[in-house]
């Protein structure tokens, strides 16, 4: 029975998030494909629609991302997601980051990428991974997150060895945190 609860819970959470994203897209309407590139000389907060947001959110230059990830070296590759590859990196201030690089074959234009950044930036919560910033230059579209030391929750849920580290009190606390994050996200 316990083995059935975790996948069921993950499925329900996935459906709720999908529903919220679809609902948000319908409300905003369909945007046309933006054929222009971002002009970095414009006020970046206005271009990105992030007025009044935390000053912690940054628009990074591609050269900064290249340096932080050692030119997207294979040693720094953490994995591959639906968005594209994910790399570990470190900025000069010693801040460890996770860099999601949009797959070039995705066909996502700047407008769609900008909308995604705006949505994720609004979802900042203690129970969600923090988006630190982004980068969009030429064909490169990159999201920069805080790097979590314990990796992903699914490693602890589905790995036989690590599963024992999560007792039921810890699991319930995680589920409560996820629920709080969803309530927070749905209130936006």
What share of the chain has pLDDT > 70, as a percent? 68
Residue 108 and residue 36: Cα distance in Å, rounded?
13
Query: What's this model's pTM, rounded to 2 decimal places?
Result: 0.61
Contact between 101 and 69 (Cβ < 8 Å): no
Closest CA to 60 of 74, 75, 44, 71: 44
Class of domain 41-149: alpha beta
**CB crowding 86-121: b at 16 or more within 10 Å, else e:** bbbbebeeeeebbbbbbeeeeebbbebbbbbbebbb
pLDDT digits (tens, 9 = 90+) for 1-13: 566 666 666 667 8
The full set of domain ranges for the chain reads: 1-29+167-188, 41-149
Residues 6+ apart with CB under 8 A from 33: 109, 111
pLDDT digits (tens, 9 = 90+) for 144-173: 998 877 767 777 788 888 888 888 888 888
Q: Read off the pLDDT of each residue in 85-108 and give the average, rounded to a whole number.
A: 84
Q: How many CA atoms lie within 13 A of 56 on its CB side?
A: 11
pLDDT band at 37 (very low <50, low <70, confident <90, very high): very low
Residue 30 has pLDDT above 60, yes or no: no
């Amino acid at each position: 029975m316990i083995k059935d609860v975790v996948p069921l819970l993950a499925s329900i959470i996935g459906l709720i998030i999908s529903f919220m994203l679809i609902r948000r897209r319908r409300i905003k309407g369909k945007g046309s494909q933006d054929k222009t590139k971002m002009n970095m000389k414009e006020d970046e907060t206005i271009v990105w629609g992030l007025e009044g947001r935390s000053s912690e959110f940054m628009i990074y230059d591609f050269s900064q991302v290249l340096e932080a990830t050692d030119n997207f070296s294979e040693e720094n590759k953490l994995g591959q997601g639906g968005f594209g590859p994910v790399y570990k990196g470190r900025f000069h201030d010693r801040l460890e980051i996770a860099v999601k690089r949009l797959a070039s074959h995705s066909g996502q234009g700047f407008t769609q990428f900008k909308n995604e950044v705006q949505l994720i930036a609004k979802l900042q919560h203690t129970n969600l991974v923090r988006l630190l910033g982004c980068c969009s230059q030429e064909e490169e579209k990159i999201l920069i997150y805080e790097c979590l030391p314990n990796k992903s929750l699914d490693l602890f849920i589905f790995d036989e060895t690590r599963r024992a580290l999560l007792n039921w009190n810890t699991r319930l606390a995680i589920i409560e945190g996820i629920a709080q994050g969803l309530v927070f996200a749905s209130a936006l």
